Amino acid sequence: MDPGLFRRVAGRFATGVAIVTSVVDGADHAMTVNAFASVSLDPLLVMFCPEKIARFHDLALDAGEWAVSVLSEGMRDASQWFATRGRMLDGQLQGWDHCRGPVTGAAIFNDAVAALECRTHAVHDAGDHSIVVGEVLTLHVPSQDAKPLIFYAGAYHRLC
């Protein structure tokens, strides 16, 4: 199978965009993801899938707790910044309006349509990615009227 064709075919599934954040040794870490989904209502579980070669992969697993901010349509720049490989780590959240999750201390973006704080429940091998399942600890709706940022066919979109 051609990986490029697979990527184009899989990209035909419209997804939301989220940023997963964690704190390790007092330093903030963040990564854009679109492989994020709810898993279970009893217990409350969600999952995201970081690439194993991403710096964030091991940091999130080491932290054991993390937050997910589901991005609003006005957060395209944040999505692109936190998806940039090799970006500086020191002060990477400066300039992005956020608060600290009350349980994990991880950053939650104030303009997000929704946010969750989680504790790692399980990690499963999935080829060049891992499936990280998290137990939901808290739920937040930072921006009541915001519309979600959508990713489809390799590009950002807005709901009509």
CATH number of the domain within which 35 lies:
2.30.110.10
Cα angle for residues 28, 47, 55 (degrees, 5° grid): 35
Please indicate, yes or no, if residue 115 is contained in any of the structural domains: yes
For the stretch 78-108, pLDDT in tens is: 999 999 988 888 888 999 999 999 999 999 9
Please indicate, yes or no, if residue 159 is contained in any of the structural domains: no
The stretch 38-61 carries a mean pLDDT of 94
With contact defined as beta carbons under 8 Å apart, do 137 and 102 qualify? no
Please indicate, yes or no, if residue 160 is contained in any of the structural domains: no
With contact defined as beta carbons under 8 Å apart, do 119 and 64 qualify? yes
Task: Tell me, yes or no, if the pTM score tops 0.75.
Answer: yes
- Classify residue 50 by its DSSP letter: -
Please indicate, yes or no, if residue 158 is contained in any of the structural domains: no
Task: Please count the structural domains in the chain.
Answer: 1
Please indicate, yes or no, if residue 61 is contained in any of the structural domains: yes
* pLDDT band at 159; cut points 50, 70, 90: confident
